[in-house]
Structures are given as C-alpha cells and as structure tokens.
Amino acid sequence: MFFLNETVLTVAGVMIVLLFILSMSIKIVLEYERGVLFRLGRLVGVRGPGLILIIPFIDKITRISLRTIVIDVPPQEVITRDNVTCTVNAVLYYRAVAPDKAVVNVERYHDATSQYAQTTLRSVVGQADLDELLSQREKLNKIIQQIVDEATDPWGIKVTAVEIKDVTLPNEMQRAIAKQAEAERNRRAVVIQAEGEKQAAVRLAEATEILSGQEGAMTLRMLRSLSEAADSKSTTILFPLPVELRALLPDPAKIKVKTDAGRRKREEIRRQEKLMEENKIEVDEKLKGEETNEES
C-alpha cells in the first residue's frame, strides 16, 4: 500500500513537471507582434505571429510591437536664426519594421528615438527664421522626419511623420506680430481700393469716350437715369439740362423781343381802329346835318 502511494505521488510529480515545462515551451505571439528568439544568448531569428515552441531555460523570446507608436516630444526652448526665443513641441509617429535590429542594435529604442527627435527639433528650428517657423511648418516637419528616419534606420525603426504642434512666443513678440499683421491687412486694403478706383476711372473714361462719339447717347443715358430715380422714394429730383436739349430751345432774349413787338403792333391796331371809329361817327353826323339843311 505504501509502495502504491509512492508510485502515484511520483507519477503526479512527473506530470506536474511535464505540464510546467510544456507551458514554458509554448508561446503565443499576437498578429501585431513579432518574437525575437535567442538560443543560448545567440540570435536565432524572428518568430510569429501565432503559436511558437521554445526550449525552456535555453531559448528566450522578446516581443516587439509592429504598431505605430505616438509620442509627444517635450517642449524645447529654441533660439531661431533671427535671435527670437520660442518654445516648440512636436509629436512623433514611428514603428518597428525590423524587430531583430530594434532589440540587438539599440537599448530601449523608444527612449532613443524620442531623445534623437528632441535634439533634431532644436537643431532644425534653430536654423530657421521666425517667419519660416510660423508659415512653413510643413517644410520643417519633412526635414525633421527625414533626419530622424535616417538616424533610426539602423535600429529597425521607421519614422512615418513628425508634426510641430505649438510654437509659443514671448508676449512682446506676440504683440509685435499682431501689429505687423494689422499693418499688412491695412496695406492690402489700400492697394485693393486704389486698384478698384483705377479700374473704375479707366472704365468711366472709356464709357465717356464712347458716349461722346454718338449723337443723343448722353441724352438717352440721362433719361434712363431719370427713370431709375423716379422709381425711388425720393420726391425731389435735380438734374442738369443737357447741351443737346438747350440747343433745341429758343433764345429767351429773342422771345422777349418778339413779345414786345407783338404787343406794340396790337396796340397800334387798336388805336387805328379807334380813330376809324371816331372818323365814321363824324362823317355820319355831317351827313345828317346836310340832309336836314336840304329839307328846310
């Protein structure tokens, strides 16, 4: 009985050891991961994804994620080429494309990539003017991305993008930039207004030249303007009399002379008629007197 119990315990112990060894021999690598396998300290290769069998206590596997990693580059105080102090921060996108290099060629590739991005950001921004930093960020982003990508390529890291997020300027510089922008807007407004007035003057001169060459064109234009003005709510309309219409009207001085001559003529006619009437009355009276004398 004692021997049977000892056998059972031995078998159970062996089974437990085998299960433990089997559990240590089976590794599962996810789809977005790769396993870098070392055997007795030497690189064997990259395994995964899926089920991987290793030799316990002999093989060692290091998991590397292939997903894109996003890190914030801490704010960096930078002096631009035109001696303006500003604070710049950025965001970095990268991923491991060669897991074996990311494990063998560099220690803690996350920290290494972040530190290199910080130094590159300070260097590139320091070689640019403030205007370039504010207006040409896309250009600076590509320069930083290219430099960091070339430096991290031996580590098996691919830098996909670098984006400058914020540029913080001193308050004095912000006020100066605001004044400069306002002055530029005012200048553009004046230029646009002057250009518009110039074009309007040119068009007006052309229209005047065309209308002056056509008889009655100015009169028709004036009549059209009067028609448009009559449709408005204004009750008083003042307009100049065109030269063309003045030429058609008679001279006021001549009208006055003709009026005075007519009046004098009518007065003379009435005076002659009155004299004739008086002479007729005298003749009638003489005839009546002669008839009376003959009868007596």
| Domains along the chain with CATH numbers | 2-65 (no CATH), 69-169 (3.30.479.30)
Total count of residues recorded for the chain: 296
pLDDT tens digits for range 87-143:
999 999 999 999 999 999 999 999 999 999 999 999 999 999 988 888 899 999 999
Say yes or no to pLDDT of 290 above 70: no
User: At 219, phi and psi to the nearest 5?
Assistant: -65, -45
Contact 48, 66 (CB under 8 A): no
Q: Give the pLDDT confidence score for residue 15 in this predicted structure.
A: 83
> 149, 124, 150: which is closest to 137 by C-alpha?
124
pLDDT tens digits for range 21-37:
777 888 899 999 999 99
Helix, strand, coil shares of the chain, percent, nearest 5, are 60, 20, 20
Q: Give the pLDDT confidence score for residue 69 in this predicted structure.
A: 95
Q: Which residues pair with 96 in a beta bridge?
A: 157
Mean pLDDT over 60-73 rounds to 94
